[in-house]
């Protein structure tokens, strides 16, 4: 029977828990912390750019904002269902995928998750680096990127408590900063209301806006349980769900709506928001100290979400490696090495990134959507409908245990979920035949969710590997709990 790692002292500066289960004695925090973390993580420049993309690719600002709201709500529900798993399991999100895919089989979606973390870390570093350069008054592009990468490494190495603390700071600073920018937009722009509804409704661009909102939320699915796993096991899943959902939806909708309005503004002096996102916001905020504070808000907002990328990237890499080595414990030195190596690679990618940022970012988000919707469908259907929230946690670390090395049913459904989306894709390099019939609208994510869930549920129900009740490692309930301690399902 697997045992817990040695107890963690409350005074330890650096978090020691990684992919191991968090015992009852170390649980802490309130569900509202999920709201502040996810609201703060969405009050940032990349979320603004995501909203601007809806208008940049043809949507009317009003219909773009409505489409983003629908997408945020639909994707946010899926994302928050992942978050609700955290308190019960006490595990980071991606290691729980071993219950569906097998210990080695889970490596396949894990590799995709690592690519996602790396991509978001690199694109976010490009934007945040520009803001850092404005603060320190330098035109040397590498300076801001490297400084921002170092700040991200510091918070990610310190870990869970500091990430949540940063989320609370960003909620306040981001709320004030973006409220001020919205005020400036309304008071300095003539005929702002005339931009809304100026174009007729177009189904294709409206569905693109929905996809951008849904994609933004769905790609958070592999993140969320990482930051709810320390909550007490008795925390209501419903409360965790709602705190996560509304924090993420309200934050991303605020930022996305603001971005849609900015993208609709006529260019001034030959430049609009889409030409220079950081510079445009600084100019909108004003000059001197005020502009400096706006740049600081941008940096803090990006630091929050980039820390999530580094922290999640590190644990996903460790989960992948441990599937082969069976290692669950690493030293603080190795933890630091994992995180700094990941961030060094993201900084390198950021330094070499193409200047065609907006188009690449749109394609990046929508491509990830194709990969992660089948994973979300399998994980949620299995956890809530097949296993009914019962997991054998020690078996997640044992290739010869209940879940085995590979689950061909899950892997087959995952592959089918990806393949069935291809005819519905709307990408720069490829547009599917069904997309052309729909006038260019990308609905691949809906197809991926529905088809994967419809395939997986009946196939896995008759082959369920779930235990009859929840099984925790020895020592989970208390330091003297007997081996094989369980709790009622």
- Examine residue 444 and state whether it is found in any structural domain, yes or no: no
> What would you measure as the largest C-alpha separation in the chain, in angstroms?
72
CA torsion through residues 399, 400, 406, 407, sign: negative
Confidence (pLDDT) at 119: 84
Nearest to 4 by CA among 489, 483, 487: 483
Confidence (pLDDT) at 211: 87
- Examine residue 62 and state whether it is found in any structural domain, yes or no: yes
Residue pointed to by tokens 């939320």: 217
Instruction: List phi, psi (to 5°) of 169.
Output: -65, -45
Instruction: Report the 3 state secondary structure along the chain.
Output: CCECCCCCCCCCCCCCCCCCCCCHHHCCCCCHHHHHHHHHHHCCHHHHHHHHHHHHCCCCHHHHHHHHHHHHHHHHHHHHHHHCHHHHHCCCCHHHHHHHHCCCCCHHHHHHHHHHHHHHHHHHHHHHHHHHHHHHCCCCHHHHHHHHHHHHHHHHHHCHHHHHHHHHHHHHHHHHHHHHHHHHHHHHCCCHHHHCCCCCCCHHHHHHHHHHHHHHHHCCCCCHHHHCCCCCCCCCHHHHHHHHHHHHHHHHHHHHHHHHHHHHCCCECCECCCCCHHHHHHHHHCCCHHHHHHHHHHHHHHHHHHHHHHHHHHHHHHHHHHHHHCCCCCCHHHHHHHHHHHHHHHHHHHHCCCCCHHHHHHHHHHHHHHHHHHHHHHHHHHHHHHCCCCCECHHHHCCCCCCCCCCHHHHHHHHHHHHCCHHHCECCCCECHHHHHCCCCCCHHHHHHHHHHHHHHHHHHCCCCCCCCEECCECCCCCCCCCCCEECC
pLDDT per residue over 274-321, tens digit each? 778 888 888 888 888 898 999 999 999 999 999 999 999 999 999 999
Cβ count near 13 (within 10 Å): 10
Burial class of residue 476, CB neighbours in 10 A (0-12, 13-18, 19+)? buried
Confidence (pLDDT) at 481: 39
- Examine residue 173 and state whether it is found in any structural domain, yes or no: yes
Confidence (pLDDT) at 5: 56
Confidence (pLDDT) at 464: 86
- Examine residue 414 and state whether it is found in any structural domain, yes or no: no
Residue pointed to by tokens 């929508």: 366
Confidence (pLDDT) at 295: 93
- Examine residue 140 and state whether it is found in any structural domain, yes or no: yes
Nearest to 54 by CA among 263, 196, 219, 214: 263
Confidence (pLDDT) at 267: 61
Task: Name the CA dihedral angle for 431, 433, 437, 443, rounded to a multiple of 10 degrees.
Answer: -60
- Examine residue 380 and state whether it is found in any structural domain, yes or no: no
CATH number at residue 312: 1.10.4160.10
Confidence (pLDDT) at 485: 43
In the chain, which stretches have pLDDT less than 50? 1, 479-489
Confidence (pLDDT) at 268: 53
Confidence (pLDDT) at 208: 86
- Examine residue 227 and state whether it is found in any structural domain, yes or no: yes
- Examine residue 411 and state whether it is found in any structural domain, yes or no: no
CA–CA dist 231, 166 (Å, integer): 17
Structural domain tally of the chain? 1
Domain range spanning residue 164?
24-373
């Amino acid at each position: 029977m697997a045992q817990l790692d040695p107890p963690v002292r409350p005074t330890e500066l650096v978090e020691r828990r990684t992919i191991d289960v968090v015992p009852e004695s170390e649980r802490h925090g309130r569900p509202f912390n999920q709201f502040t973390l996810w609201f703060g993580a969405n009050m940032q420049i990349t979320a603004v750019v995501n909203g601007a993309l809806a208008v940049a690719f043809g949507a009317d600002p009003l219909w773009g904002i409505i489409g983003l709201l629908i997408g945020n709500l639909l994707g946010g529900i899926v994302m928050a269902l992942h978050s609700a798993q955290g308190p019960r399991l006490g595990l980071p999100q991606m290691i729980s995928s071993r219950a569906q895919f097998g210990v080695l089989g889970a490596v396949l979606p894990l590799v995709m998750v690592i690519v996602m973390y790396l991509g978001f870390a690199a694109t976010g570093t490009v934007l945040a680096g520009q803001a850092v350069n404005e603060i320190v008054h330098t035109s040397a592009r590498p300076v801001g990127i490297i400084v921002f990468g170092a700040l991200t490494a510091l918070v990610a190495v310190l870990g869970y408590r500091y990430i949540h603390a940063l989320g609370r700071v960003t909620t306040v600073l981001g709320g004030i900063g973006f409220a001020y920018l919205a005020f400036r937009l309304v008071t300095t722009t003539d005929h702002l209301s005339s931009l809304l509804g100026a174009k007729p409704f177009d189904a294709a661009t409206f569905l693109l806006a929905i996809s951008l909102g849904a994609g933004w939320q769905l790609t958070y699915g592999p993140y969320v349980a990482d930051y709810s796993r320390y909550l007490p096991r008795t925390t209501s899943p419903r409360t965790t769900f709602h705190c996560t959902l509304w924090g993420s939806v309200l934050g991303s909708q605020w930022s996305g709506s603001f971005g849609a309005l900015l993208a609709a503004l006529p260019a001034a002096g030959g430049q609009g928001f889409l030409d220079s996102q950081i510079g445009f916001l600084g100019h909108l905020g004003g000059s001197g100290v005020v502009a400096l504070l706006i740049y600081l808000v941008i940096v803090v907002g990006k630091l929050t979400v980039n820390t999530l990328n580094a922290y999640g990237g590190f644990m996903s890499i460790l989960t992948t490696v441990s599937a082969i080595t069976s290692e669950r414990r690493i030293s603080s030195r190795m933890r630091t090495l994992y995180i700094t190596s990941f961030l060094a690679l993201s900084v390198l990618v950021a330094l070499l990134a193409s200047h065609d940022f907006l188009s690449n970012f749109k394609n990046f988000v929508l491509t990830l959507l194709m990969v992660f919707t089948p994973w979300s469908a399998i994980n949620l259907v299995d956890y809530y409908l097949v296993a009914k929230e019962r997991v054998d946690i020690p078996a997640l670390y044992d290739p010869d245990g209940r879940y085995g090395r590979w689950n061909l049913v899950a892997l087959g459904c995952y592959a089918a979920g990806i393949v069935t989306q291809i005819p519905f894709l709307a990408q720069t390099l490829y547009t599917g035949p069904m997309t052309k019939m729909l006038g260019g609208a990308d609905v691949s994510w809906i197809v991926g969710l529905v088809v994967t869930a419809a395939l997986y549920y009946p196939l896995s129900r008759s082959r369920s590997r779930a235990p009859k009740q929840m099984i925790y490692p020895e020592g989970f309930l208390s330091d003297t709990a007997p081996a094989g301690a369980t709790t009622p399902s």
